[in-house]
Structure 1
Amino acid sequence: MSAPVIVGVDGGESGRDALVLGEWAAAVLGAPLVVAVVHPAPAALGSGRVDAEWVADRRRSAQAVLDGARAVLTTAAEYRTVASTSAAHGLHDLAEQLGAEAIVVGSGRAGPRHRLFPGSTADRLLAGSVCPIAVAPAGLERAPGTLGRIGVAYVDTLDGRAALEAAARLAARTRTPVRIYTVVADADATLPFLVGQDAEHAFLDTARETFEQSLRRAAESVRDLPVDWEIRTGDVVDQLAELDDVDVLFCGSRGYGPARRVLLGGVSTRLLRRARRPVVVVPRSG
């Protein structure tokens, strides 16, 4: 079996968003689609006993969730139930077992519509995954593939380059343009006012020139695809969260920690809670 796209569902409203995003990703990547529900593993009640009736009920509930997923999808998929101590742990184990291309989840049930608000499953998945994690915002109105652009939140680091590489692979499949975004802080947020406006503006000009150079190099590194770039000014999360003209936005995890693991930093965490479009967090490759 080639590397699949795994969609984790739990019967909540966010599951439909995840299924829409996951079905599109699998089709674009030419990957098998696996829909998974994690149910509690049998736990001992004492003296080696387990509540067999409760376990059987959880299994029936998981099957009912899968039946609901079948009604949403329009393409073939493999359906699995996984017994584990937690939903995140079960999806992690399944991803490692299958060598998954990506794990797709919906936003948390308590999240506002049109905004990402990962519940506990997404939060735990995003802490240490070996493959990219895609999170669909609640109430996904425009399906991926309808806007014709792949976005990348970029800083010239290992994490930023990993995000760009993953985005370019997807864009090569869809034959859509890539836009690379970098955000520069407002003047008031960069240096103390005692430094003086002249020095502050000189600093900002230098920073912008540095970012422009790194963005040009990043764009030139992507072959055979239309790539442009944009520097925005303001709070990085505010600017990236409001993007509404990309099919998906790729971003890196934080710039330290084990290679090939997603380890969220502060920007990625806040972005996932507020983004209007699907976000894919990519583990750095080395």
Structure 2
Amino acid sequence: MTGPVVVGVDGGLTAPDAAVLGCWLATSLGTSLIVAAVHPAPAALGSGRVDAEWVADRHRAATRVLDETKEALAGVACAIDYRTVASSSAAHGLSDLAEQVAAAYIAVGSGRDAPRERLFAGSTAERLMAGSVCPVAVAPSGLKGPLGSLNRIGVAYVDTPDGRTALTAAAELARHSGAHLRLTTVVAAGDAALPFLLGDDTERAFLDTARETYEQSLARAAADVPGVTAEWELRSGDAVDTLADLDDVDVLFCGSRGYGPARRVVLGGVSARLSRRARRPLIVVPRSG
């Protein structure tokens, strides 16, 4: 069975974007949704009375955030459970909750706009990506919908263990939602790929060989995805700029970087920058193994 989708809301202006993304994921997977507002837990040290009053105020704020979200999600088809969670940070609270319920995804907003009643300061999305046990879905500010209308799930693909893990996760969502897959590999244009090689002939030969290798790996990966229609493309340019500007996919999957603790999301340079710049929802998948 597929676990629930956990959505973190904090009263900020991008919280509705996270709710839209979380609802689409839960509906596509045929699973339930948990909407969580994380508030500060009592500190181990400090002035008891002041601390208790502050914690109580933050708990009331979290309850208000959930009430507002409940109104916004009225009529949504999937089953929704609303929870307040006490923790040392929003990222810790959401990550712990996701682990407890064996969540399929955690969905959060991008945090690009100024908060209205943000319960915690800081970038929850980036902190989650430093150690979540399940894929982290980040909704861009002002998410355009309806999600699923493009019927295409994108994968930022490289033929590495992380790239293959991202493809596997994307294929599972595609099978549930009925969407097609599109695998995209971005290669550096011109001499950006060869800063230490001299000679135009050598450079052109290397780039031609590299492109052929990428095309072969893309074609092989697309052909090996069971039960899903998959296409592929090879683009030239800056990886972050090219992937961030994709606007013809419903969501974009990418892998974590190539080292770090197994079965945890560990941000690499591309995924970290994409989480701040992508035009479409970004899903970063934990490492396997």
Aligned length in residues: 280
* CA distance in structure 1 between the partners assigned to 2:93 and 2:227 by the alignment: 39
Q: Which residue of 2 aligns with 1:114?
A: none
1:256 alignment partner, SS class: coil
Q: Which residue of 1 aligns with 2:23?
A: 23
1:123 matched to 2:123: no
Q: Could you list the per-position Cα deviations for residues 63-119 of structure 1 after superposition, in whole angstroms to 9, with x for gaps in the alignment? A: 0000111111132310000001111111111111111111000011447xxxxxx95
Equivalent position to 1:229, from 229, 232, 247: 232
Q: Which amino acid aligns with 1:167?
A: A
Equivalent position to 1:257, from 251, 256, 260: 260
Q: Which residue of 1 aligns with 2:40?
A: 40
Q: Which residue of 1 aligns with 2:285?
A: 282
CA RMSD of aligned residues (A): 1.8
1:37–1:62 CA contact under 8 A, matched in 2: yes
* CA distance in structure 1 between the partners assigned to 2:214 and 2:252 by the alignment: 19
- Gapped runs of 5+ residues in structure 2? 115-120
What TM-score comes out, normalization by structure 2 length? 0.92
Q: Which amino acid aligns with 2:11?
A: G
Aligned residues: percent identity? 68
Instruction: Flag as ranges the 4+ runs of structure 1 deviating above 6 A.
Output: none
Q: Which residue of 2 aligns with 1:198?
A: 201
What is the Cα deviation at residue 133 of structure 1? 0.1
Distance 1:169 1:148, change over 3 A: same
1:23-102 counterparts in 2 under 5 A?
Answer: 23-44=23-44, 46=46, 51-73=51-73, 74-75=75-76, 76-102=79-105
Distance 1:210 1:2, change over 3 A: closer
Distance 1:47 1:229, change over 3 A: closer
* CA distance in structure 2 between the partners assigned to 1:224 and 1:46 by the alignment: 57
What is the Cα deviation at residue 143 of structure 1? 2.7
1:44–1:50 CA contact under 8 A, matched in 2: no
1:167 matched to 2:170: yes
Distance 1:48 1:169, change over 3 A: same
What is the Cα deviation at residue 51 of structure 1? 3.0
* CA distance in structure 1 between the partners assigned to 2:86 and 2:145 by the alignment: 33
Q: Which residue of 1 aligns with 2:180?
A: 177
- Gapped runs of 5+ residues in structure 1? 112-117
* CA distance in structure 1 between the partners assigned to 2:106 and 2:3 by the alignment: 11
* CA distance in structure 1 between the partners assigned to 2:179 and 2:197 by the alignment: 47
1:240 matched to 2:243: yes
What is the Cα deviation at residue 274 of structure 1? 0.8
* CA distance in structure 1 between the partners assigned to 2:137 and 2:171 by the alignment: 16
Distance 1:44 1:119, change over 3 A: closer
What TM-score comes out, normalization by structure 1 length? 0.93
Distance 1:194 1:212, change over 3 A: closer
1:21–1:143 CA contact under 8 A, matched in 2: no
What is the Cα deviation at residue 175 of structure 1? 1.3
